[in-house]
Amino acid sequence: MKPSDRAPASAPSGAPEHRPDAAPRRYMVAGQSFQAPPLPGGLYVVATPIGHLGDITLRALETLAAADVIACEDTRVTRKLTDRYGISARLTPYHDHNAAAARPKLLARLAAGEAVALVSDAGTPLVSDPGYRLVRAARAAGHAVTTLPGPSAVLAALTVAGLPTDRFFFAGFLPPKQAARRARIAELADIPATLVLFETGPRIAAALADLAAALGEREAAVCRELTKLHEEVLRGDLKTLAATYAAQDPPRGELVVVIAPPSAQQPDAVELDSRLREALGRASVKDAVAEVAEALHLARRDVYQRALALRDEDVAEER
């Protein structure tokens, strides 16, 4: 089925009807020109390739071509994509440094019934960028918000890392300063899920060293240039990966670090009983259970049951 043969998506609930006076917008695929169906007014959150420009979806191309304006982090980066597909829509910057000033202008366009597309430099918008504030403001103003899913560096890294994917936690970028970075890693240490982090080339060796110091010998993968010509995925424990990057020049670009979840190590019964008896000797059962459960990373109900058993044993001995 050719792109032009597909029926336009129905308008989101509450969105203005298609504008009959909208000029035809076009885009190119494999040397062929196609007309993009007119868009109802609203905000369109469009995922774009994280590297390989061929990873764009047909629906995303139609939307970008038909949009009245495309809000993007860096117009130079997005222009490479729009030029590749013959899209002439106007580009306007929207990023961390100008969001406060640019957001009201985009909201005014939405209020006028225009179709505004939101993209990031790569991947899915709102992941480590200010897009969520625009989505929040658009929804608060009653404008339709439509998502066009597609590439994501987080999911791409998870699929090639070879680590558990049933539960994962995306932590974004670690702080650049070492003290703040170590504090943040300490907060992440006990999360019972695979961790996914973004990091820059110049900081990757130091970040991996701090991760190894706090998390131990967890298995990890460092993913770089995903979907590009020089895609690279290095796997190993955190200490080995830290040494590898410390011994070479900093890699270019941003990287995705995927780290295995903590091992499910249960404390032995002697340690549990010892801690509980000590805590019960100076605190209520409720407080003692809360203290020990947190210290040993155990479910409170399990610790509570053991606390009751110890109390019953002590009562029986006294008799």
Taking alpha carbons only, the member of 235, 168, 175, 246 closest to residue 206 is 246
- Count of Cβ atoms closer than 10 Å to residue 210 Cβ: 20
Stated pTM of the model: 0.75
CA atoms within 13 A on the CB side of 2: 12
Cα 205 to Cα 219: distance, rounded to the nearest angstrom: 16
Specify whether the CB–CB gap between 275 and 241 falls below 8 A.
no
Q: With bands split at pLDDT 50, 70 and 90, how would you rate the model's confidence at 306?
A: confident
Q: What is the Cα–Cα distance from 291 to 297, expressed in whole angstroms?
A: 10
CA–chain centroid gap for 32, Å, is 35
Mean model confidence pLDDT for the chain: 89
Condensed to tens digits (0 to 9), the pLDDT of residues 226-272 reads: 999 999 999 999 999 999 999 999 998 889 999 999 875 556 678 88
The stretch 132-140 carries a mean pLDDT of 96
Q: Which of 6, 14, 9 is nearest to 34 (CA)?
A: 6
Whether residue 76 is predicted with pLDDT greater than 80 in this model: the reply is: yes
DSSP label of 48: B
DSSP per-residue letters across 133-148: HHHHHHHHTT--EEEE
